[in-house]
């Protein structure tokens, strides 16, 4: 239990001051479950502190996000970055010069998901 208490204190330190949840049994249990699923404290802090500016009750949102993290795997890799377009196409499609309508997907995007 001491490791979890240390983790929640570290998480509170990484979060914005107005978004720090109180140490409750539920948050402590959810944090322990999230850590068991492979989340790090830094990952949880990033996940919990995103888009809090317009939130009326930031600590409640952070508590809910910790609860949600306890039930899912942590992100494993950053989002894929698409390759740059080839320069012959518009947004990955070859365009008919007369109608300006897409004809077909460009070869530079066929391999992309």
Residue 64 has pLDDT above 70, yes or no: yes
- Return d(Cα 59, Cα 5) in angstroms, integer: 17
Task: Specify the residue for token string 């950053």.
Answer: 78
To the nearest whole percent, how much of the chain has pLDDT over 90? Answer: 13
Interval 15-59: pLDDT, tens: 777 777 766 777 888 888 999 999 999 999 888 888 887 788 888
The torsion of the CA quartet 65, 72, 50, 62, rounded to 10 degrees, works out to: 10
Residue 1 has pLDDT above 50, yes or no: no
Q: What share of the chain is helix, strand, coil (3-state, %, to 5)?
A: 45, 5, 45
What is the pTM assigned to this prediction?
Answer: 0.58
- Return d(Cα 50, Cα 62) in angstroms, integer: 9
What integer best gives the mean pLDDT of the chain? 81
**Are the CB atoms for 82 and 69 separated by under 8 Å?**
no
């Amino acid at each position: 239990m001491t490791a979890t208490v240390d983790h929640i204190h570290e998480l509170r330190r990484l979060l914005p001051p107005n978004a720090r949840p109180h140490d409750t049994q539920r948050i402590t249990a959810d944090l322990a479950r999230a850590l068991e699923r492979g989340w790090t404290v830094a990952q949880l802090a990033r996940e919990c502190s995103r888009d809090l500016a317009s939130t009326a009750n930031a600590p409640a949102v952070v508590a809910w996000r910790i609860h949600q993290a306890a039930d899912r795997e942590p992100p494993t890799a950053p989002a894929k970055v698409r390759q740059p377009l080839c320069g012959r196409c518009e947004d990955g499609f070859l365009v008919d010069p007369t109608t300006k309508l897409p004809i077909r997907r460009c070869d530079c995007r066929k391999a992309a998901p």
